[in-house]
Amino acid sequence: MVFDEQMELGLKQYQRNNGMEPDGTIGNLTAESLNNSPANLMDIAAVNMERLRWLSDTLRDSELILVNVANFQLDYLNKLDTVLTAKVIVGKEYNESPVFSAPMTYIAFSPYWNIPASITKEEIAPAVRKNPNYLAQKNMEVVTSSGEPVNVKPKDWSTDPFPYLVRQKPGGSNSLGLVKFMFPNEHSIYIHDTPARSLFELENRALSHGCIRIQDPAKFAALLLKDDPTWTSEKNRLSHESERRANSTVEKAHSGRDILPHFLGRLQWGTPFQIGYLQSGPRSIGSVEKTSVGVVGL
């Protein structure tokens, strides 16, 4: 078999049909998809149908946020009509994420990133021991549980567990970006912006520590807060800053004038959000959707 121009066009169409980058080359994801057997695809479809059966029938007539982990995509639906589609970045080891439900209660603009203890232990503390200026370079600070700043002694970074909290201040270099979408839960999972815009161009976007990074936070926030008249100024600044970043080829910390004021948008719907993460399986082929879907119901 000769890989000629016609074969390349067919491969690109196959990649488009299956949610992959149509680059015309047989990389790892394309090879994995091509090697899936019909029997395996039927098993995947059966599992997904069973998982979707778990969802409440009332969600069909409401607003929904569907996070397809296997396809790295978020869809915002209103009575099953798609209002917004956005690329997302998900966890590196997402297969281990639990299934859970929680109400989405607020949206935070210019958020602090309260760094999990596991990341502090495995990444921050070793970095500080090697480079004493690491926190200042990353716009981070050490605080008590009540938020009071602390002058940490060098020996404290070798203490296990670390006795304080590390957080990153709001700003253009903040790992949460300009906004985060909160549905408090015991797993500390939420949706947020990111300054690393180039990562959304990757085909495999399983890159985070577990939370979901969304490509277009300004449009997402606008939809969620469309009935809230109090956030007009924040909306304008968020949209402007998101557009400026999208058009910039350089990812770097921004000046203070780019920082939105700290603002919480409260979500006041009668029916709470529900979010569930269904564990992913192998990628599917053809008209069968990819397998892993996280659902937020409004």
Q: Which are the catalytic amino acids?
A: 192, 211
Helix ranges (H only) for 157-294 are: 217-224, 232-246
Q: How far is CA 255 from the centre of its chain?
A: 25
Closest CA to 216 of 189, 250, 199, 193: 193
217 Cβ partners below 8 Å, 6+ apart? 177, 178, 179, 181, 192, 193, 238, 242
- 124 phi and psi, to 5 degrees? -70, -50
Provide the token pair at 142.
């050490």
Provide the token pair at 271.
């029916």
Q: Answer yes or no: are the C-beta atoms of 24 and 8 closer than 8 Å.
A: yes
| Distance (Å, whole) CA 114 – CA 188 | 10
- 76 phi and psi, to 5 degrees? -105, 115
Full strand arrangement of the beta sheet holding 140-143:
113-114, 165-168, 140-143
On the question of a cis peptide bond just before residue 154, with omega within 30 degrees of 0, the verdict is: no
How are the residues of the chain apportioned to helix, strand and coil, as percentages rounded to the nearest 5?
35, 20, 45
Strands 81-91 and 73-78: antiparallel
